[in-house]
Amino acid sequence: MTLLSLAEIESARTVIGGVISETRATCAHSLSLRLGRDLWFKPEHLQRTGSFKFRGAYNRLAELPEGSHVVAGSAGNHAQGVALAASLLGHRATIFMPANASLPKVQATRSYGAEVVLGGVVVDECIESANEFADSTAGAVLVPPFDHPSIIAGQGTIGLELIEEVPDLRTVLVAVGGGGLCGGVAAAIKLARPGVRVIGVAAEGADSMRRSLAAGRPTAVEPSTLADGIALRAPTQLTLDLVSRFVDDIVTVSDESITLAMLLLLERCKAVVEPAGAAPFAAINSGEVDPAPGSTVVVLGGGNVDSMLLTRLVDHGLGAMGRYLRLRIVASDRPGSLAVITEALAELNLNVIEVAHHRYGVGQALNAVEIGLVVETTGPEHQDGVLEALRSRGLAAEREV
């Protein structure tokens, strides 16, 4: 059985060629030095609608008669891809999104002219609602996020571009949730360049593809991850078969690793990438994927991250990288105690972010005061040095977790 042919992917490239943005792969020189490998990024977070999803959506909708009514369920990226493609091709779009979907994603989807219906908690529930709506609405056409050859062929065009854009291409890392992107990119690469290694990266809390491969059939999980773009309960038989045939390995990364990867991309590459889009880089940065000769490409699949979530993730990531040190110092409750502490911090050239002053606490002496501080540090070694320096000055300083 032919799962997906190279001709189908090449045809999709022709269809979408005039409408997608060019996202040429670029070498990440500083991170290459840091990680000891020739590292490249495919910046699909800069694609129209902010993710790779526009490729597959446009390729599928271009097959439909003008004026069709298309229906989709999505957490945001597929929603925007379908909505924009529908507006460009003269279709009507109804999109089902989770009730807790990112506000910018909802607003963007509506701005492209789609009708948005909010409901459900996870994207799978929205897909089910979209299925039911399409079945009960005359003339409506369901556009699944990954379970259609034309959708997958559209995503696979990324693989064809990588072969042309990256010298000495040897390894490609791509996020895997439902498997449309991973399966499509892997099929394109393996059919054209069989020797290239393709690795799928899933979130630890949504590793349905890895479990499905082990079981030999689609196997569901209850997703629990900040990477909503790959938080799928289960792949379909089509995407499972594609990944099984063309993908060399599946690895998983923690939400902590994803957060650190997002922060590093922001700081070192000036790239705002959403959690699902950063997952492949997290696999490299955390050492889940062994270095290999030649060029390694990380597909940054999307950049649609809510600003409020980004703020929380940056703060969390800075803490995890050792850039914030939380201190608890118990001192005598008398005038001048706080001045002694702040003088010590000034001598250590530390910037204070927060200060809390507590006179009453469990087990605390009546003549003592507890001072909580958050200071900026450069990393774990600096933090250890700060604690040692404060204690050498006679201050009862402890690290707060």
User: CATH class for domain 6-47+152-318?
Assistant: alpha beta
Lowest-pLDDT choice from 145-149, 247-251, 290-294: 290-294
- What's the CATH code, domain 323-399? 3.30.70.260
6-47+152-318 and 323-399 have identical folds: no
* pLDDT recorded at residue 290: 86
CA distance 200 to 264: 21
Q: Can you read off the two tokens belonging to residue 206?
A: 């949504």
Distance of CA 252 to the CA centre of its chain: 13
Rg of the chain taking only CA atoms, in angstroms = 25
pLDDT tier for residue 398 given thresholds of 50, 70 and 90? confident
Average pLDDT of every residue of the chain: 91
Task: Give, for 175, the enclosing helix (H) or strand (E).
Answer: strand 169-175
pLDDT tier for residue 360 given thresholds of 50, 70 and 90? low
Read off the pLDDT of each residue in 255-273 and give the average, rounded to a whole number: 92
- What's the CATH code, domain 53-142? 3.40.50.1100
Domain boundaries defined on the chain: 6-47+152-318, 53-142, 323-399
Residues 6+ apart with CB under 8 A from 270: none
